């Protein structure tokens, strides 16, 4: 599949749509942006247009863009990462859709991101949260903590990418479009096998009732349209109900929604009596921190997490440099 950055370098075909937002959608899909990026970009571009009383962006310039971004920062108080995403959406609009590569687009200031220490739970806290999760979501939580996968990486897991024989899971098209291999925890084999047997019942029922195959990445649906009907391409965590594919309009089976697990996880955190602001991503943070505490090499942890730069992984070393496993406080030394 062509990466978005490579596709941008090629000359895109003329737009077929007439409405601006449809043109944005058309160009995003041509460049193989994810459905989540598509939704986010459309949201910010729509907001930009409404902020300026539905004036066409072609008639707006640097002053109007900065006014919108300032409003997001000062009135809406959006995070720096959100502010950058809104700016990226507007730059995409002007360069890739309107074909207006103004020099001043490169001069718009981007907010400085503040790197904060991640929220990390102790092994005992993780155990309590996983135990508090309902059975439907517990195996997902165990997978995230046991492999360090991101939530969407876990929910998008396909049957073919689970290798029980070699105790390996292949994460396809993670952040940055990269693949990587992670361990399959021995303690998870039985639960994951049971989950896949459950998923197979949905697949068999779908084949009998003529349901469309699952979504396929890239151009695979054109090269091998029947692949989505095969067992190997099915979701490990399918939804119980069928849904409408937002891009094709086909009624098919999707994977479990991230909001569903997020709600279940929040409930489990409360039941477990955890006061930390833990989210599903905290399981990934805890995975990395606990491996480093167990003296695993930071490069190994970097590869398992799929970080392109080891400096990103280094943030977890700051967590373990203090506290019981790190520096001894002079007060403790004094009271000895």
Q: Is 30 a catalytic residue?
A: no
Catalytic residue of the set 307, 318, 321, 336: 307
Catalytic residue of the set 180, 253, 284, 285: 284
Q: Is 150 a catalytic residue?
A: yes
How many whole angstroms separate alpha carbon 77 and alpha carbon 268? Answer: 29
Rounded to 10 deg, the angle between the 80-92 and 62-74 helix axes is: 160
Q: ∠25-30-31 over CA atoms, to 5°?
A: 100
How many whole angstroms separate alpha carbon 25 and alpha carbon 97? Answer: 9
Catalytic residue of the set 25, 138, 150, 158: 150
Contacts of 211 (CB under 8 A, 6+ apart): 242, 251, 252, 253
Question: 182: which strand partners?
Answer: 169
Integer CA distances (angstroms), 223 to 156, 227, 254, in order:
21, 9, 21
Please give the structure tokens belonging to residue 265: 């996880």
Q: Is 263 a catalytic residue?
A: no
Catalytic residue of the set 32, 84, 175, 254: 175
3-class SS of residue 170: strand
Q: Is 175 a catalytic residue?
A: yes
Catalytic site positions? 150, 175, 281, 284, 307, 316
């Amino acid at each position: 599949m062509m990466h978005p950055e490579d596709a941008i370098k090629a000359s895109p075909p003329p737009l077929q749509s007439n409405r601006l937002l449809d043109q944005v959608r058309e160009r995003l899909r041509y460049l193989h942006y994810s459905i989540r990026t598509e939704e986010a970009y459309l949201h910010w571009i729509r907001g930009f247009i409404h902020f300026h009383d539905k004036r066409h962006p072609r008639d707006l310039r640097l002053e109007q863009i900065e006014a919108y971004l300032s409003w997001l920062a000062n009135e809406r108080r959006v995070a720096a990462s959100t502010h950058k995403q809104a700016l990226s959406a507007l730059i995409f609009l002007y360069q890739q859709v309107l074909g207006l590569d103004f020099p001043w687009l490169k001069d718009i200031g981007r907010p400085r991101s503040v790197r904060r220490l991640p929220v990390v739970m102790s092994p005992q806290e993780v155990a309590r949260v996983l135990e508090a999760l309902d059975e439907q979501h517990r195996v997902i939580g165990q997978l995230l903590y046991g492999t360090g996968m991101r939530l969407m990486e876990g929910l998008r897991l396909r049957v073919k990418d689970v290798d029980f024989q070699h105790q390996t899971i292949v994460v396809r098209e993670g952040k940055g479009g990269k693949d990587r291999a992670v361990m399959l925890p021995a303690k998870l084999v039985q639960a994951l096998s049971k989950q896949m047997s459950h998923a197979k019942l949905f697949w068999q029922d779908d084949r009998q009732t003529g349901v469309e195959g699952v979504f396929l990445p890239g151009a695979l649906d054109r090269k091998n349209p029947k692949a989505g009907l095969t067992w190997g391409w099915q979701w490990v965590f399918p939804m119980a109900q069928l849904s409408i594919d937002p891009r094709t309009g086909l009624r098919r089976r999707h994977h479990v929604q991230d909001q569903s697990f997020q709600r279940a996880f929040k409930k489990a955190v409360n039941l477990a009596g955890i006061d930390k602001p833990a989210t599903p991503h905290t399981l990934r943070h805890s995975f990395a921190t606990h491996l480093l505490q167990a003296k695993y090499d930071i490069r190994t942890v970097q590869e398992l997490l799929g970080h392109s730069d080891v400096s990103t992984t280094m943030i977890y070393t700051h967590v373990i440099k203090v506290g019981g496993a790190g520096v001894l406080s002079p007060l403790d030394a004094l009271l000895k």
